[in-house]
Structure 1
Amino acid sequence: MPTAPLAHADDLADFVDASPSSHHAAAEVARRLQQAGFAALDETDAWPEAPGRYLVVREGAVIAWVVPQGATATTPVRVFGAHSDSPGFKLKPQPTTGRLGWLQAGVEVYGGPLLSSWLDRELRLAGRLVLDDGSEVLAATGPLLRLPQLAIHLDRTANEGLTLDRQAHTQPVWGLGAPESADLLAEVAASAADGARIDAARIRGFDLVVADAARGAVFGKDDALFAAGRLDDLASVHAGTVAMAAAAEGFDGPHIPVLAVFDHEEVGSATRSGAAGPFLEDVLERIGFALGAGRQERMRALASSWCVSSDVGHSVHPNFAEKHDPVVRPLLGSGPILKINANQRYTTDGAGAAAWHGWCAQAGVTSQAFVSNNTVPCGSTIGPITATRLGIRTVDVGIPILSMHSARELAGVSDLFDLTRVAEAFFRG
């Protein structure tokens, strides 16, 4: 494997490690882009009207953009969209539970995780803490929790079909003792807060999730494979962040590059920081205001704009070939994918396909098509939501992976690198 894709995969491993929750992912995107010269703005402040590089964070979502010299009220945008959340588990109120001498964490299933994949691995706790003065801090533990599987001696039919009860069998252990205080896990989270340790009594609310504690790793013949937690969709978030930092350097194109990372895609996106919420529309409207745009100018700009919705798709699985289309079978290591669905679960149409292939050609990247087997309905993405909210031309893309929604997913090293190259070509135009 050439050096550049391997270095990119190693950087992605760092990115995933720094992003165990959506709030951490948004913070890591902001940190990296601020290092690249982007100025962080607050939604409650007046925003600058001068051209430049800017970003704004809303909870677990972040939007970054570059306004070039010469931009006008009708300058179109090019949005690369992704999401920061992943399926898994979220901590419940009064989370410290337990029985029979074990300390456990009360968790609620978030999205559609592959439950069995979370068994017998070390897990972290991460997210945000909201304090008594309204301030927020991020917190992330090291390896803390585990969902221990029942031994085969106690369930001789386990290999014939494992069934996990979403309540009874998904409460991880994290220690020994009696759960005498509902503040035990809060104390652990407080001690893991960024910066100085805070008093657990100051915590008034929290959004804490469970994440795989193992670092991402390159492996396999010719170092072609990469495994990590939360590749759905941190692989796209990382690609967009790296591409935006590179494209922003000296950018003076005829459009405004925008990186939009949303939260809550795995549960429908219908939140203030999700794609179905107003975040992107709010930001684009404020960018337009700074350029003197009224409603007509804004509509003209959107009519000539593009959105690339980037999320993972399925690689053909060698052990379950019948689950895939018999002809269209994307494979790890063969390039990013163009996602197509006749029922518009993905937004790609002929015009979008042509545009995508043009950006791939500009980047020198080979693309693959993805379509579902007619008997296995596909999921959806932020693409249809963004197109519906803004009326913007949108195309759905991504990388092929195996083990989607597992605690640890599998991607191709070269695909990760190639997606970033196409994203940069898209931003540059």
Structure 2
Amino acid sequence: MFEKIIQEADRALALGKIQDWVLKSEVTDSQELFFVKDRLDMNRRADTKEYALTVYVDHEEEKEGMVDKTRGSSTAQFGPDDSDEEIVEKIARAGEEASYINNPWFPLPDNGGEPGHDMVQASTIHEFSHKHEEVFQAFFADRGGLAKVNSAEIFCQDVQVRLASSQGLRTSYPANLFQFELVTDAEGKNDPVEVFRIYTLSGPDVDKIREVVDAQLEETQARAQADQAQAMEDVTVAITGDEVEDFFKMYTSRLSAMSVYNGLSKEEPGLAFAHDQEGPEVKDPVSLRLNPFLAHSPYAVPVDSYGTLLAPYPLLDKGQVMNLASSAPHSYYLGMENKGKCSTFEVDGGSADLDKAMKEDHLEIIKFSSFDFSPLTGNFGGEFRLAKLVKEGKESYISGGSISVNLFKSADKISYSKETIQRPRSITPKAILIQGVQLAGEEEE
């Protein structure tokens, strides 16, 4: 089927109906298991094949003596049982749809060949079958606490991705993942507490699964015991959850060629990060690089969706902009080199001694209800579901408060831990520390 689609896409290209194409296929072998408490309720296996062909149609129009060249695109989806006639018809329809779109023209990457980095992943399903009992114990072993595992749904996926383009790209790579939905519950002070969360790993890492389940059970029990947050002034806040990764997406978003082209960012290589923003001196300048080969992440890729072969490259070095996260269209529009774009990144550890900070008075936000952030304004924060308050050596759990901070206006109060940890799409500092925060909550009577 893959070769059939290429053959018909090349035929449409030769006839001038389209000017470029990129084909992506995903062949997936998946297994799904659903447990109610520790009882297996469902176990099923499925194979799927999906094909997506993006076609590009170019237009030329003379304006004031100049030729204005534009490009439209549209994507056709194919199933494994599509006939030759259906393939031809879908490509023709996609070409027609693309002909109505007039975006600025850009070239597809002309870098055909195999990526220089070999993506190797063990079969998730095979590995799970050999670790089934260990994984089961990681989920359902009795920890003896108030919180319990209510249910768990496990997804093992072995995915083989193939990419081809009219510019000569022919490559394939695995994109396997181990995903699970976990529901934990406990009796609260007033009402029952239930926590539902989805986790994605590159494989059935028993130690990591146990760590995740332990953490969610502890969070569930803490939420069951938590008091309503009270309003407080001048609090040192430590953010330690996966929201740390979201926080650093403010950096990757502002440092993207697309944001710069669309006027949402004024970042420029050679200048300091956020040079256009007024604020105090930065306390802990950030060093950040894109790494498409992040070994622990299921989102690691050797090539982007336009067919650019990827390699790691820096965006920031101690607060200085080194590059923009590029893509085929927006790098061309800005007249810069196209290095390609990925969603996985690394951030160096900062200057903060986390062990020392955690011994002093602080509020550790463990989980937000909804973490909001704006790369444009630098505002971030939101209401939290659970936080641990350390005050005068005593610990207590609170819920229902909220914080609001601005990345640029509070640059002299924000630091990052020296320690870094793995997160789904990144390696980032273990904690963000912010001094002098105003905590919104119930007012004391």
TM-score interval (norm. to shorter):
under 0.3
Structure number with higher strand proportion: 2
Higher relative contact order (CA 8 A, sep 6+): 1
Q: Which has the larger radius of gyration?
A: 2
Give me the TM-score of the superposition, normalised by structure 1: 0.23
Give me the TM-score of the superposition, normalised by structure 2: 0.23
Structure number with higher helix proportion: 1
